[in-house]
Structure 1
Amino acid sequence: MLAAGLAACGTVEQLSAAQKVSKAFDKLGDSKSAGITVSVEASPEQIVAFGDATGDKIERKTAEALSGLNISVAVASDKPLKELDSLKSLQSPDSSGNVTPDKSLRVSYVLADKKGAALLEYRQVDAKAYLRADAKGLVQLVGEDPAEVDKAAADLPAELKSVKDALAGKWVSLDLQELAESAKKTDGTKKTDGTAPGAPSGRPSLDPDTAKQLTNSLKDVLSRTVTFEAKDKKDGAEHVLMSAPARQLVDGVLQAVKPLSSKFPEQFDKLPSTAPADVPNRNIGVDLYLKGGRFSSATFDFAQLEPKAGPGAAFPVKLAFNESAPTVQVPADAVKLTEQDLQNALLGLLSAGDDEDAPDAGPGAGPGAGPGAGPGAGPAPTAGAPLTAAQAKELTGLGLSEAQIQIFSELGLSYEEIKSFATKS
Structure 2
Amino acid sequence: MPDQVAELLAGARISLSVQSNKPLQDSADTDITGMAMKVSGPDGDLLEYRQVGDWAYLRAGVKSLEKAAGGPLPSADQLPPDATALKEILGGGWVKMPADSLAKDAPGQQPGNPATEARKKQAIKGLHDLLAREVQLKDNGSNNGADHITATTSFRTLLTGLVDELRPLAGDLPHGAELPTGPDLKDAPDKPVTADFTIKNGALSEVSVDLAALTNSTKGDKFALRLRIGKGDQATAPGQAAQIDPSALTQQLLGGLAPQPVPGADAL
TM range, smaller chain: 0.7 to 0.9
Q: CA separation in 1, counterparts of 2:17 and 2:128? A: 28
Matched residue, 2:76: 153
Written as runs of structure 1 = structure 2, the 5 A alignment for 1:12-411 is 56=1, 58=3, 65-85=8-28, 89=29, 102=30, 104-114=32-42, 117-142=44-69, 144-145=70-71, 148-149=72-73, 151-177=74-100, 179=101, 183=104, 205=115, 218-249=127-158, 253=161, 265=170, 272=182, 276-280=186-190, 282-306=191-215, 308-310=216-218, 312-322=220-230, 324-338=231-245, 342-343=247-248, 345-352=249-256, 373-376=260-263
The 1:256–1:140 alpha-carbon spacing in structure 2 relative to 1, beyond 3 Å, is closer
Q: CA separation in 2, counterparts of 1:210 and 1:171? A: 32
User: TM-score, normalization: structure 2?
Assistant: 0.74
CA RMSD of aligned residues (A): 4.2
% of aligned pairs identical? 23
User: TM-score, normalization: structure 1?
Assistant: 0.50
CA shift digits 1:156-205 (9 cap, x unpaired): 3443344323212111111234x379x59xx9xxxxxxxxxxxxxxx9x5
1:105 counterpart SS class: strand
The 1:103–1:152 alpha-carbon spacing in structure 2 relative to 1, beyond 3 Å, is farther
Following superposition, the deviation at residue 113 of structure 1 comes to: 3.1
Is the CA contact 1:227–1:244 (under 8 Å) kept in the aligned structure 2?
yes
1:82 counterpart SS class: helix
Following superposition, the deviation at residue 374 of structure 1 comes to: 4.5
Following superposition, the deviation at residue 129 of structure 1 comes to: 0.6
1 or 2, which has the higher strand percentage?
Answer: 2
Is the CA contact 1:103–1:127 (under 8 Å) kept in the aligned structure 2?
no
CA shift digits 1:391-416 (9 cap, x unpaired): xxxxxxxxxxxxxxxxxxxxxxxxxx
CA shift digits 1:50-97 (9 cap, x unpaired): xxxxxx5626xx665544320100101111100124xxx1xxxxxxxx
2:131 counterpart SS class: helix
Q: CA separation in 2, counterparts of 1:319 and 1:254? A: 19
Q: CA separation in 2, counterparts of 1:210 and 1:76? A: 20
Is the CA contact 1:120–1:132 (under 8 Å) kept in the aligned structure 2?
yes
Q: What runs of 5+ residues in structure 1 fail to find an aligned partner?
A: 1-55, 90-101, 188-202, 357-372, 380-425
Q: What runs of 5+ residues in structure 2 fail to find an aligned partner?
A: 108-112
Is the CA contact 2:17–2:232 (under 8 Å) kept in the aligned structure 1?
yes
2:262 counterpart SS class: coil
Following superposition, the deviation at residue 231 of structure 1 comes to: 2.0
Aligned length: 255
Q: CA separation in 2, counterparts of 1:346 and 1:207? A: 26
Letter matched to residue 140 of structure 1: K
1 or 2, which has the higher helix percentage?
Answer: 1
